[in-house]
């Protein structure tokens, strides 16, 4: 850890992400970049149960002043948000507001022990941290962990659910969202279609707070979403709030880490899969991961398993223990034994290193935003299998707007059948459609990486933001 014995105190940044893998990851990438800069120190706040798990795997980056701290929360989520939490979002996020006194105490404590906290960077969904920042007379910076398109959808929530109108998953057109073209209601984030009055109240409550922040940092890059970015930047500028695209944030690690980019580790990664990938042919492997939260039924698992076996292509599948509802161990064992010569399964993978591997041909994904950006930035086409949150919106962007992915057809019972799975996998792995997607995503890959290089738009925006903090 860097010495505190300098003549002038460092700029002390307190970072507070939502306690989920998809939110912690971009915040940590951002904090690594900040802490690697001369004159900055970062205190990274987690809820207690997640903090206790994370410190088991934690290794502070060399030559940076970045530390982990925690505050208590009654919900125990050692691996971050899970399926239960996501299906009780209103209840969970209402409970998080109870952390305000603990966060205020922590700011006071750290300010005395280290140096005065100069700003709070918090996840958009923790809007109440603005009240804490105001109490201490310091700015709050919003980290937006998703797409620019998602920001403008959130910004229009009061209009979307005005008068108690409930969004449903149909083909009705939504055309009131500025910065985006018309959407089907089915493409609006799934959490806005849920029957959860607490979540609806929380959603409306948080929207005005974005205009109270001094700056919004978005984990995207301008060339991917220029229209949404331009709208939000112009809209927030009216109230004096900056809006900056500074992503893909995971690529920032490539410039600050001696071992290349690494993800936040909330689970034990199985690096043996990398050695298995080394033995596979170039662009031959289908990588499958449903992220850290999604679950599937046994029936759906069997349909996907049969579709995979039918195409005969090598695959690497992240099979978390809790992925299958009910955790039927025998089903896992039977599948792994049956496909031992075709595929490789792990409970958790080092995804950034996997997607960078030359043997990967495509990524069957739940379409969490980190996975989308990581696939784009490594030139990997996507097979979209959205499960919750805004993943359906991301899938719409991937398939219809950017044309770098394919989706699956769900039956009346919500099941994706083995026939459609086999057909779509063949189209992407072997067909002309897959080649076109690969060509398109390679163009976006170049733009993503150029954005974070010296002089790139994301790099310049982040540098300007940090210079602004330094001058305060």
**Average pLDDT, stretch 187-213?**
89
3-state SS, residue 141: strand
- CA 248 to chain centroid: 10
- Return the bridge partners of 140, or none: 120
Residue 355 has pLDDT above 60, yes or no: yes
- CA 158 to chain centroid: 24
**Average pLDDT, stretch 389-415?**
94
3-state SS, residue 287: strand
Residue 374 has pLDDT above 90, yes or no: yes
- Return the bridge partners of 11, or none: 40
Residue 169 has pLDDT above 80, yes or no: no
Cα angle 240, 192, 400; round to 5: 85
pLDDT-derived band at 359 (thresholds 50, 70, 90) equals very high
- pLDDT score for 164: 60
Nearby residues of 71 by Cβ (< 8 Å), 6 or more positions away: 45, 47, 48, 99, 102, 103, 106
pLDDT > 90 fraction of the chain, expressed in percent and rounded? 71
* Sheet-wide strand order for 215-218: 66-71, 40-47, 11-16, 117-123, 140-144, 215-218, 242-245
Alpha-carbon distance of 220 to 173, in angstroms, equals: 26
Average pLDDT, the chain: 91
Domain boundaries, the chain: 11-165+203-262, 272-448
- pLDDT score for 2: 40
Alpha-carbon distance of 285 to 305, in angstroms, equals: 15
**Average pLDDT, stretch 244-249?**
96
The reply to whether domains 11-165+203-262 and 272-448 share a CATH topology is yes
Q: What is the pLDDT of residues 318-327, one digit of tens each?
A: 999 888 888 7
Which range, of 85-89, 102-106, 126-130, 415-419, averages the lowest pLDDT? 85-89
**39: phi then psi, degrees, rounded to nearest 5:** 90, 10
Q: Which pair of tokens denotes residue 346?
A: 């792990």
- pLDDT score for 328: 80
Residue 464 has pLDDT above 50, yes or no: yes
Q: Which one-letter DSSP state was computed for residue 12?
A: E
Which range, of 6-10, 328-332, 431-435, averages the lowest pLDDT? 6-10
- pLDDT score for 3: 40
Element (DSSP H or E) covering residue 183: strand 183-184
- pLDDT score for 166: 67
Instruction: Give the chain's radius of gyration (CA, Å).
Output: 22
- pLDDT score for 274: 97
pTM above 0.85, yes or no: yes
The CATH classification of domain 11-165+203-262, taken from the options 3.10.129.10, 3.40.50.2000, 3.40.1190.20, 2.10.109.10: 3.40.50.2000
Q: What is the pLDDT of residues 2-40, one digit of tens each?
A: 444 445 678 999 999 999 989 999 999 999 999 988 899
- Asked if 360 and 285 touch (Cβ cutoff 8 Å), the reply is yes
Nearby residues of 443 by Cβ (< 8 Å), 6 or more positions away: none
Residue 192 has pLDDT above 70, yes or no: yes
Instruction: Report the interhelical angle of 369-377 vs 21-35 (nearest 10°).
Output: 60
- Kindly report the CATH class assigned to 272-448: alpha beta
Q: What is the pLDDT of residues 50-95, one digit of tens each?
A: 999 888 877 777 778 899 999 999 999 988 888 888 888 889 999 9
Residue 432 has pLDDT above 50, yes or no: yes
- pLDDT score for 384: 98
């Amino acid at each position: 850890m860097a010495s505190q014995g300098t003549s002038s105190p460092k700029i002390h940044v307190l970072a507070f992400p939502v306690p989920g893998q998809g939110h912690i990851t971009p915040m940590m990438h951002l904090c690594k970049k900040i802490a690697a800069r001369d004159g900055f120190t970062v205190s990274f706040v987690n809820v207690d149960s997640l903090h206790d798990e994370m410190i088991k795997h934690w290794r502070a980056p060399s030559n940076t002043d970045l530390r982990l701290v925690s505050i208590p929360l009654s919900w125990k989520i050692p691996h971050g948000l899970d399926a239960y939490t996501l299906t009780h979002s209103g209840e969970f996020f209402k409970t998080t507001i109870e952390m305000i006194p603990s966060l205020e105490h922590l700011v006071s404590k750290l300010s005395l022990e280290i140096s005065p906290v100069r700003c709070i960077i918090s996840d958009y969904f923790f809007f109440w941290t603005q009240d804490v920042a105001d109490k201490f007379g310091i700015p709050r910076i919003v980290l937006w962990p998703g797409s620019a398109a998602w920001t403008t959808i959130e910004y229009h929530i009061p209009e979307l659910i005005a008068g108690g109108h409930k969004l449903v998953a149909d083909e009705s057109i939504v055309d009131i969202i500025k910065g985006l073209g018309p959407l089907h209601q089915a493409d609006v984030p799934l959490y806005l279609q849920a029957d959860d009055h607490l979540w609806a109240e929380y959603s409306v409550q948080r929207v005005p707070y974005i205009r109270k922040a001094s700056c919004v940092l978005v984990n995207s890059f301008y060339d991917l979403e220029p229209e949404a970015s331009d709208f939000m930047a112009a809209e927030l500028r009216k109230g004096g709030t900056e809006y900056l695209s500074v992503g893909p944030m995971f690529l920032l690690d490539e410039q600050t880490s001696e071992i290349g980019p690494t993800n936040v580790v909330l689970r034990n990664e199985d690096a043996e899969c990398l050695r298995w990938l080394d033995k596979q042919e170039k662009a031959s492997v289908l990588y499958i991961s449903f992220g850290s939260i999604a679950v599937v039924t046994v029936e759906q698992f069997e349909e996907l398993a049969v579709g995979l076996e039918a195409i005969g292509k090598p695959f690497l599948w992240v099979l978390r223990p809790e992925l299958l509802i009910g955790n039927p161990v025998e089903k896992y064992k039977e599948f792994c034994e049956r496909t031992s010569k075709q595929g490789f399964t792990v409970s958790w993978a080092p995804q950034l290193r996997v997607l960078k591997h030359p043997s990967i041909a495509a990524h069957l994904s739940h379409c969490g935003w980190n996975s989308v950006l990581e696939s784009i930035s490594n030139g990997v086409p996507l097979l979209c299998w959205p499960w919750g949150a805004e993943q359906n919106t991301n899938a719409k962007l991937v398939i219809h707007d950017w044309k770098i992915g394919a989706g699956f057809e769900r039956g009346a019972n919500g099941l994706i059948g083995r026939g459609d799975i086999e057909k779509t996998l063949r189209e992407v792995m072997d067909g002309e459609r897959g080649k076109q997607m690969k060509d398109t995503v390679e163009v976006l890959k170049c733009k993503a990486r150029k954005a974070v290089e010296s002089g790139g738009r994301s790099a310049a925006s982040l540098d300007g933001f940090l210079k602004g903090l330094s001058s305060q």
